[in-house]
Structure 1
Amino acid sequence: MPLAYWCVLVAALLPIFWAGYAKAGGRVDNHCPRESIDSLPPQYRRAYAAHTNAYENFPFFAAAVIIAVTQGVPLATINTLAAAYLALRVVHGILYVGNLSTARSIVYGLALLANIAIFVLPAFG
């Protein structure tokens, strides 16, 4: 199984990690967790924002990897870009929690470019 598929799995679990981190930051009513987010300290509210952002970005990444693999793009290229995307998404979350908004935006853009590259690779193969 290509490394890129393992990256998809980790990317799918990344939002759960950020949600768990956010919930660890204070008292969250698990019956209505979204209503409790506003009462968390800022660092943990940002972790929840990283959680939602990770979910929002996951479908495009998963689709891009599947499309590239099924269209015969060299696996080494897909694996490299998928690993770079995943690393950037982890850094994005860390920067989000750390309140480093400019760096976070730059890393977000780099991850988006890596994802677009994965998606369009079949057009150049």
Structure 2
Amino acid sequence: MASLFDTTRNFSLYTIPAAWVIAFVPHFYAATQSKLFDNRSSRTYAQTLEKDQTISKDTKSRILRAEAVQTNGFENLALFATAVLAGHLAGLPAAKLNTLSVGYLISRVVYNFVYINNTSEGMANLRSVVFLAGVGQVMALFIMSGNMLRERAANLL
């Protein structure tokens, strides 16, 4: 059981495909919430949904939020993947890479849940806080990587 939580083994590269899956899941959820989804023209789903009068406003809103959170996840994926790769290039310790990478994944799961179920100003504010927490972890990876590389360069002189 102790090996399950072994932070000396670096698994942060595996969090990149995991982040992709976390970004994709809301679209799968949205597609299963209505019979209007047509996989032959999946990008028109939102427009088709807007015109349909048979689906409740709440259901439409939840589906549209799920599509929006998917877009947000894919927009942030490149930044996250680049930060993880920068950490590897800089030689950050496995424990730091693992902690920040998994922290980002957790923030994305929470973000997805809060965004899809957001119906109040308080939930919207929580969504923003969770988003910034995830971005903060990505920025921490970049800053730590930059510091590590700067120290290495200084030691070469």
TM beyond 0.5: yes
- Once the two structures are superposed, residues 22-50 of structure 1 have per-residue CA deviations (whole angstroms, 9 ceiling, x without a partner) of 10111212222222224162111111111
Asked whether the equivalents of residues 90 and 146 of structure 2 are also in contact (C-alpha less than 8 Å), the reply is no
Which consecutive aligned stretches of 4+ in structure 1 deviate over 3 angstroms post-superposition? none
Amino acid at match of 2:38: D
User: 1:18 aligns to what?
Assistant: 26
Amino acid at match of 1:3: F
**CA–CA distance in structure 2, aligned partners of residues 24 and 121 of structure 1:** 41
User: 1:102 aligns to what?
Assistant: 125
Residue 46 of structure 1 is aligned with which of 65, 75, 79? Answer: 65
Amino acid at match of 1:34: R
Higher-Rg structure is 2
**CA–CA distance in structure 1, aligned partners of residues 45 and 20 of structure 2:** 24
Give 1:4 shift. 1.1
Give 1:77 shift. 0.6
Give yes or no for the alignment of 1:55 onto 2:74.
Answer: yes
User: 1:85 aligns to what?
Assistant: 104
User: 1:31 aligns to what?
Assistant: 40
Describe the SS at the equivalent of 2:39: coil
Q: TM-score, normalised by structure 2?
A: 0.75
**CA–CA distance in structure 1, aligned partners of residues 60 and 94 of structure 2:** 43
**CA–CA distance in structure 2, aligned partners of residues 28 and 81 of structure 1:** 36
Task: Indicate the percent of aligned positions where both proteins have the same amino acid.
Answer: 28
Amino acid at match of 2:124: S
Asked whether the equivalents of residues 25 and 41 of structure 1 are also in contact (C-alpha less than 8 Å), the reply is no
- Once the two structures are superposed, residues 50-95 of structure 1 have per-residue CA deviations (whole angstroms, 9 ceiling, x without a partner) of 1000000000000100111121111111110111011001100000
Equivalent residue pairs, number: 125
**CA–CA distance in structure 2, aligned partners of residues 81 and 36 of structure 1:** 35
